[in-house]
Amino acid sequence: MSKSTASTPRNSIVWFELPVPDLDRGVAFYNEVLQVELIREDMDGMRTAKFPVLDGKDTPSGHLFIGTPAPAGQGSVTHLACPGRLEDGMERLARAGGKVLSDPIAIPFGRFTYCQDPFGNSIGLYVETGQE
């Protein structure tokens, strides 16, 4: 096995953090848009809300935490799995106070759209091919 193959991780991203100034508002927004229930946790005194994953509570995914987002449009983009049709997710996002910044963009393995959450975090809603 070559060195590059041996050191290649299962996933390039193992954890992400999205800062929000109000954890309750952040949880309500992401629960509505993604049709999930974020899991509230206390991690060494830091209040967070973890994005649920199919593999269970101890599987890494990402979380919201109380903090200040980068200025709108200047942070990295975190693409999140959108349940159902992408257009329905875009409508939920706008109704919940976020901004849709692009039309759907097709890529070889799905479709996504660029957005911002109500706090200015750059996010994408993503639907895998065959999941709509």
Model pTM?
A: 0.89
* Domain residue limits, the chain: 15-128
Q: Tell me what the mean pLDDT of segment 31-49 comes to.
A: 93
Instruction: Calculate the average pLDDT of the chain.
Output: 90
**3-class DSSP state of 110:** strand
Q: What is the CATH number assigned to the segment(s) 15-128?
A: 3.10.180.10
Question: Using one digit for the tens of pLDDT, what is the confidence trace for 63-117?
Answer: 999 999 999 878 899 999 999 999 999 999 999 999 999 999 999 999 999 999 9
**Among 101, 93, 97, 86, residue whose Cα is nearest residue 119:** 97
Distances (CA, A) of 37 to 10, 49, 59, 131: 26, 9, 16, 20
**3-class DSSP state of 36:** coil
Looking at residue 4, its pLDDT comes to 60
Bridge partners (DSSP) of residue 99 are 116
Looking at residue 5, its pLDDT comes to 64
